[in-house]
Each structure stands twice: as C-alpha cells, then as structure tokens.
C-alpha cells in the first residue's frame, strides 16, 4: 500500500548572506521524503549540510540562514508558512527532536520526574492526575532500570547513556509521529551506543515512526535506518536503501567514505579520502566532488551532474556511476608492516603503576583511615619496546587517559614506577624531571581546537619545542619548521596561519608536527582521531603510521574506538576501571579466547553493514568507581563465576606467549 508522504521536502535551498551581500547556499535543491515506518539516515562530513536539513524538517533554521527556494511539508502542513503557535505545537508534539548532547539539554536543577512531567503537560492530552504514571511508563519504555527511583534523581546523577535515554523519553512524551535525531549517540561508549541503537530500532518499529537520523557514524546508520541519503557540499549525491548504499555504493564519494572507515575484520589501515570538501562560498562549476574524485574527467569539472534515478531505486549524482567498479573496494594498500620489535630494547616500562585522584581530607584521615577509596588506576605493568605501538582501549572512565597523563608527568602516580630506556625511575611530576627526558616523551591530544593556542600562528606553535629543546631561532628555526610541516604534508604557507584558519584535520596535523618537532622516542596519542571526520581520521592514522616507520617512534595510542586501535597498534591492552583485563598482540586480543569484557566491547561495535547485528552481552550501566576487592569487571560481567570474582583479584593467565587474560574463568572455557 503506497503510504502518503509524511515529511516532504521539495527542492529546498537554504543559504546565508555574506558580508559582501552575496547569498551563499549551504543546501542546494534538496529533496527528501519520509513515510511513516521509514527511517532515513543522513550521512556526510561536517559541513555537508546534514544538520541544517534535519532542522529544516521542523521548519527551523539556525540564525542567519534563510530559505532561498523550495518547500517543507509535514503531513500536508506547510512548515515554512505556518503560524508561530501552530508550529510550536507541532515541534515537540507530533515532531520530536533528540539532540546530540542530551546531558546538556536537561535542566540541571530539576529532578528527572519533573522534567518529563513538563514535557507531558505541554505536549500530551494526559490529565494532570495521570502524569506520575505517565512518567514511569515512559521511563520503562526507554528501558531505564528502577524508573520510580529515577524520577527523584537529578540529571548529573545519571550516566551519559541514561541521560540520553531520559531525553528520548521526553521526546516520546508527546507520542510523536516523527523523530529527528541529530547525532544522538556521539560521545557515548560503544556498549551504551549499541544499547541505545537497539532501543531506537524497536521504538521506531513499535510506534511506526517516521525517523530522520543524522550521523557521521555509518555503523549506527546501518543499525537503525532502512534508507540512506548521502550529502556532500549541500547536495544529495546518493540515496538508496541501506543495503545498496552501505554495501555497494554507487557514488565515488560514498565509496571513499566507506573505505575510510576502519573495520574490525581488516588488518590494514583504512584508505584516506584525500582533499577537503569545498567551502560554501566557493563557486563550483562542475561536480562538487570532482577535485577529490578518481573517476573525474573533463566533463565533471565543467558541468554539474544531475541526480540520476536508477531502476534499482537508487538516485546518484554522478556521470560515471556505472564505472564505480573501477574503484577497487580493497585497493592494493599493503597491510601495515608491523616492525619487528621482538629483539628491540624496552623503551618504556610501567611497573605496578597506580594513580588515585582522591585526596582524603584531614578528618577522614584521622577517623576513617581504612576507608580510602580504591585507586582510579591500579596494577598497570607493561613493557613497551622501541618502535612498538601499544593500543590502550576501554570505555570512558577506564583510566586510559589517566595513564597517559601519568606517563607525561601531569598527574602524580600514587605508587609504582615509570622507567624510560631501562634507566632509573622518572620522577612522577614533570617539573622535577631532567630536561633530557622531557624531550623524549611528547603527547598529542584529542581535540586540536583545545591543544593549539588560538593566539599562536603555526610558526609560533612549532617554534615552542624547537626553541625549548634545540634553542633554534631565526633562519634555522624557520627551515626546521618548514621541514617538519612538509613531513605532515602541509606546505610552507601554513606557517603564517592561525589555528582558526585551518580545518580540523590540518589542525591535528599541526599538533602532530609539534610533537614530532621534539624528535621524541615516545609519543602518547590521546584519542587523536575521535574529534575528526572519518575520512580525515584515515588520513591522520596513515600519517602517524608513515612517521613512525620513518623515525622508529614508539606510540602509546589511546582510543575508545576498537577498530581504530586495531588498525594502528601492534599490541593492545584492554582496560576496565583502570585495571588491565587483557593484553596481547592485536591479532590475539581481537580473536577468541576473550576476556568477558573484551567480548562485550567487540560485540557492541556497530559495523557499517546492515546485515551484521551487534552482540550485546554486558549491560551498559556505568560504574563510578572500581570495586574494592576482586575483579574490576565483577558487577557487569555476564559470565561471573561467583564469590571468587568479588574477593580475589584474577590471576594472569598466559594464553599464548605475550597474550595475557586476567580472569578467573579457566583458559579452556574462555
């Protein structure tokens, strides 16, 4: 039965007026229609206009944006020429939005129950007497444990995943017919994300919702959407069913995007998508993607392609969509050559390292000296060989960043030693370390917006380590800076730019350049790609790999993304609550036998493949502090043996040479 279009966007162009008075489009002639029961995934790099389009579906435009042409209809209602009050009733009523950072969209000083009651009062016809029951009903629908107890809690008492569930519950309060989701799981842990995706998938099915899902995460899209629309530079470049788009993309951009995602079942680094998307203000004569496209020819640069509707139901904006087969899905990119490190010296030893953030006050020291909370990070013993890449993986709160900061001397260790090059232990505070050691350990941070001083030019940023460690100035300083910039594939003309004049990927390259400027032995990488688009992430991973092969640098690579860690590491340590669960060579850790936690993590990874469903073993509850005794994973472990897990620290079982699992379950059963 053909259903009527529920959300119908026709030939929509949206733009802003530049200072010079020109109208600059950010959405160009976009069509999107959603029927009830459909869930459409909107994919693209940052700046592709996907969020603008999703908000346009509610008749909302960010400040400065205005409609150039086209129309937006919701169930036959013209959203662009609707009376203000009626529009307000629709938004949050029949049409609900779940934003990216729900923890921040909850009012911090209102209890959860009150917040949901407010949503019920405004957007449902429930009588006031039914509010309390309504709240409990909604909280159970989003599968929150103990809904009654939860109503009395404040938002900060919930974990990120629970906050996101509350936001979903509030969106459901009005019994909406359409849901708009703007990156709803970005920033959540893998296991939490997988659980939320399952929830959304079931909700959409049960309530026959029309769903528009905006995300850069193709794995999430694959899980909840039945159709996918790929956007590039404000245009639709490809639409089709989730299977068509994700498994055999007919557009070179979609093809490149998919190839740039690191996958668990591949051993090599993902393929980077070179170049960057055009700025909205650039005039484009031909295809917007032509500059980055391997299939592009003369026509692509001179005339813009139209959206071709194919017999298979896809629509593709490309002249050469029939030649897509020429783009090899798996190009001859050699699997990452793992340097032989077996016989190398040890670069860094962590010996029984423990870190505690708690600073007991005088009173508690006097009266309850035995009541000290367990250390945030404990029993970390790892030897890292020269030229090796050690991946540290785990959910937020697993202590991975804390370990890096302790190595860098920014967080004092409680006990244990950090030993560089098999000499005497380093002082735990950076101020007291000898200058010669400081140069040898450099750190690259997650977010280059935060790690580059916004007031410094690239030249000044690179000058910092070069002046400090090598005393360079004048022409030698400039020459060295240029040489380093070229290593990270940026040209000399970048020297005069400020960070605000660079793209995300370029900023991270500058941050990498700054770390390499010191010519260090060890580089600590703290989630260095998680603030970047996937296509840029692939390029940064590739760069890190090349630099490492040139200089023989040792990396400690922290990430919550298991596929990224797999792609770049030689050895992986899986951490939970600041304790090592499993450590070993990449291939061994990523294949059975598993520690139950590793198993839970790997099972929850969402692959950009609609046919692969995640395996959810452990629940996604978040623990704030590690248990005092026994195994750190005891409270969430799906395979808990019994009281032994609560009382005894699991012993290290050496499954294979170098592959160690800390678990009470005997090796044969793992």
Partner 1 sequence: MTVSSTSHQQEQGRFITVMKDILARPSGRIGLTLVLFHILLALLSPLIAPYDFKLQNSSLMLSPPSSEHWLGADHLGRDILSRTLMGGREALLVTGIATPLAVIWGGFIGILFGLVGGRVDEVLMRVVDAFLSLPWILKMLVLIVTFGTGIGVLIPTLTFFYGIPVIRVARAATHDIIARDFVWAAKARGHSRISIIWRELLPNVLDTLMVEGAMRWSWMLLAFSSLSFLGFGVSPPTPDWGLMISDARGFMSFAPWGVIAPVIGLSSLIIGINLSADALAKALGIDRAQKAPM
Distance CA 357, CA 600 (A): 27
Q: Which of 102, 215, 236, 442 binds partner 1 (CB under 8 A)?
A: 442
Q: Which of 165, 255, 514, 579 binds partner 1 (CB under 8 A)?
A: 514
Q: Which of 498, 531, 612, 641 binds partner 1 (CB under 8 A)?
A: 498
Q: How far apart are CB 43 and partner 1 at their closest, in Å?
A: 29
Distance CA 488, CA 509 (A): 6
Tokens of 106: 């909850």
User: In the complex with partner 1, which residue's Cβ is closer, 375 or 446?
Assistant: 446
Q: How far apart are CB 459 and partner 1 at their closest, in Å?
A: 5
Q: Which of 478, 489, 635, 659 binds partner 1 (CB under 8 A)?
A: 478
Question: At a CB cut-off of 8 Å and minimum separation 6, what does 133 contact?
Answer: none
Contact status: 455 vs partner 1 (CB under 8 A): yes
Contact status: 456 vs partner 1 (CB under 8 A): yes
Q: How far apart are CB 453 and partner 1 at their closest, in Å?
A: 4
Q: Which x/- pattern over 362-401 shows residues binding partner 1 (rule: CB under 8 A)?
A: ----------------------------------------
Question: At a CB cut-off of 8 Å and minimum separation 6, what does 417 contact?
Answer: 349, 350, 351, 352, 353, 425, 426
- Judge contact between 514 and 528, C-beta under 8 A: no
Residue listed under structure tokens 């994973």:
633
Tokens of 304: 């813009």
Number of residues that bind partner 1 (CB under 8 A): 39
Distance CA 338, CA 391 (A): 14
Contact status: 516 vs partner 1 (CB under 8 A): no
Q: Which of 305, 465, 593, 626 binds partner 1 (CB under 8 A)?
A: 465
Neighbours of 554 (CB within 10 A): 25
Distance CA 417, CA 406 (A): 10
Q: How far is CA 159 from the centre of its chain?
A: 17
Contact status: 558 vs partner 1 (CB under 8 A): no
Q: Which of 481, 577, 598, 653 binds partner 1 (CB under 8 A)?
A: 481
End-to-end, the C-alpha distance of the chain in Å comes to: 50
Contact status: 36 vs partner 1 (CB under 8 A): no
Question: At a CB cut-off of 8 Å and minimum separation 6, what does 330 contact?
Answer: none
User: In the complex with partner 1, which residue's Cβ is closer, 330 or 455?
Assistant: 455
Contact status: 31 vs partner 1 (CB under 8 A): no
Contact status: 354 vs partner 1 (CB under 8 A): no
Q: How far apart are CB 526 and partner 1 at their closest, in Å?
A: 9
Contact status: 433 vs partner 1 (CB under 8 A): yes
Q: How far apart are CB 434 and partner 1 at their closest, in Å?
A: 9
Distance CA 465, CA 599 (A): 42
User: In the complex with partner 1, which residue's Cβ is closer, 311 or 431?
Assistant: 431
Distance CA 649, CA 357 (A): 22
Helix (H/G/I), strand (E/B), else coil: 132: helix
Helix (H) or strand (E) holding 228, with range, is strand 227-232
Extended strands (E) in 543-617: 554-559, 571-576, 579-585
Contact status: 477 vs partner 1 (CB under 8 A): yes
The phi and psi torsions of 192 (rounded to 5 degrees) equal -60, -45
3-state DSSP of 513-552: HHHHHCCCCEEEEECCCCCCCHHHHHHHHHHHHHHHHHHC
Contact status: 480 vs partner 1 (CB under 8 A): no
Contact status: 518 vs partner 1 (CB under 8 A): yes
Contact status: 482 vs partner 1 (CB under 8 A): no
User: In the complex with partner 1, which residue's Cβ is closer, 52 or 481?
Assistant: 481
**455, HSE (Cβ side, Cα atoms, 13 Å):** 0
Q: Which of 197, 222, 228, 408 binds partner 1 (CB under 8 A)?
A: 408
Contact status: 330 vs partner 1 (CB under 8 A): no
What residues make contact with partner 1 under the rule CB under 8 A?
Answer: 408-410, 430-431, 433, 435, 438, 441-443, 445-447, 450-457, 459-460, 463-465, 468-469, 474-475, 477-478, 481, 495-496, 498, 514, 518
């Amino acid at each position: 039965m053909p259903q009527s279009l529920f959300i119908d966007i026709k030939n929509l162009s949206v733009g802003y007026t530049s200072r010079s008075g020109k109208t600059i489009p950010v959405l160009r002639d976009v069509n999107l229609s959603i029927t009830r029961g459909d869930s459409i995934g909107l994919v693209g790099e940052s700046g592709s206009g996907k969020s603008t389009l999703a908000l346009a579906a509610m008749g909302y435009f960010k400040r400065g944006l205005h409609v150039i042409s086209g129309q937006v209809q919701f169930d036959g209602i013209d959203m662009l020429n609707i009376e203000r009050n009626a529009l307000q009733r629709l938004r949050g009523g029949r049409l609900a939005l779940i934003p990216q950072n729900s923890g921040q969209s909850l009012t911090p000083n209102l209890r959860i129950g009150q917040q949901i009651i407010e949503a019920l009062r405004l957007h449902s016809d429930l009588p006031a007497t039914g509010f309390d029951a309504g709240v409990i009903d909604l909280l159970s629908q989003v599968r929150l444990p103990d809904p009654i107890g939860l109503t009395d809690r404040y938002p900060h008492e919930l974990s990120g995943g629970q906050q996101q569930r509350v936001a979903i519950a509030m969106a459901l309060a009005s019994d909406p017919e359409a849901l708009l989701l703007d990156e709803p799981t970005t920033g959540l842990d893998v296991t939490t994300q997988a659980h939320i995706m399952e929830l959304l998938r079931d909700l959409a099915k049960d309530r026959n919702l029309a769903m528009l899902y905006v995300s850069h995460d193709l794995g999430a899209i694959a899980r909840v959407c039945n159709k996918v629309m790929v956007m590039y530079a404000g245009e639709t470049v490809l639409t089709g069913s989730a299977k068509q788009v994700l498994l055999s993309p007919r557009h070179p951009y979609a093809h490149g995007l998919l190839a740039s995602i690191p996958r668990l079942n591949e051993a090599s680094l993902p393929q980077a998508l070179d170049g960057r998307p055009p700025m909205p203000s650039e005039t484009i004569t031909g295809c917007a993607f032509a500059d980055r496209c391997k299939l592009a020819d003369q026509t692509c640069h001179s005339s813009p392609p139209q959206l071709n509707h194919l017999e298979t139901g896809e629509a593709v904006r490309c002249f050469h969509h029939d030649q897509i087969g020429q783009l090899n899905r798996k190009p001859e990119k050699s699997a990452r050559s793992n340097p032989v490190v077996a016989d190398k010296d040890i670069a860094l030893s962590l010996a029984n390292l423990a870190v505690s953030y708690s600073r007991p006050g005088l009173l508690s020291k006097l009266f309850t000296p035995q009541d000290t909370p367990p250390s945030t990070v404990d029993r970390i013993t790892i030897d890292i060989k020269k030229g090796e890449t050690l991946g540290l993986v785990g959910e937020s709160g697993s202590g991975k960043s804390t370990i890096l900061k302790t190595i860098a001397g920014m967080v004092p260790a409680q006990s244990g030693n950090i030993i560089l090059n098999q000499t005497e232990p380093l002082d735990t505070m950076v101020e007291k370390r000898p200058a010669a050691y400081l140069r040898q350990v450099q750190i690259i941070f997650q977010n280059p917006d935060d790690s580059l001083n916004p007031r410094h030019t690239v030249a000044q940023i690179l000058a910092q380590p070069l002046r400090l460690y090598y005393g360079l100035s004048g022409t030698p300083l400039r020459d060295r800076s240029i040489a380093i910039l070229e290593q990270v594939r940026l040209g000399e003309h970048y020297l005069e730019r400020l960070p605000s004049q660079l793209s995300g990927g370029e900023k991270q390259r500058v941050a990498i350049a700054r770390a390499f400027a010191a010519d260090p032995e060890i580089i600590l990488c703290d989630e260095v790609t998680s603030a970047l688009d996937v296509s840029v992430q692939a390029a940064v991973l590739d760069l890190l790999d090349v630099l490492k092969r040139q200089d023989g640098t040792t990396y400690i690579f922290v990430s919550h993304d298991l596929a990224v860690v797999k792609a770049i590491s030689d050895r992986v340590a899986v951490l939970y609550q600041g304790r090592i669960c499993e450590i070993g060579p990449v291939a061994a850790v990523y294949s059975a036998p598993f520690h139950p936690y590793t198993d839970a993590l790997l099972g929850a990874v969402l692959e950009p493949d609609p046919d692969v469903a995640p395996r959810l073993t452990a629940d996604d509850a978040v623990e704030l502090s590690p248990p005092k005794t026994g195994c750190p994973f005891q409270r969430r472990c799906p395979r808990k043996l019994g009281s032994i897990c609560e009382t005894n620290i699991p012993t290290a079982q050496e499954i294979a040479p170098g592959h160690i699992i800390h678990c009470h379950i005997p090796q044969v059963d793992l």
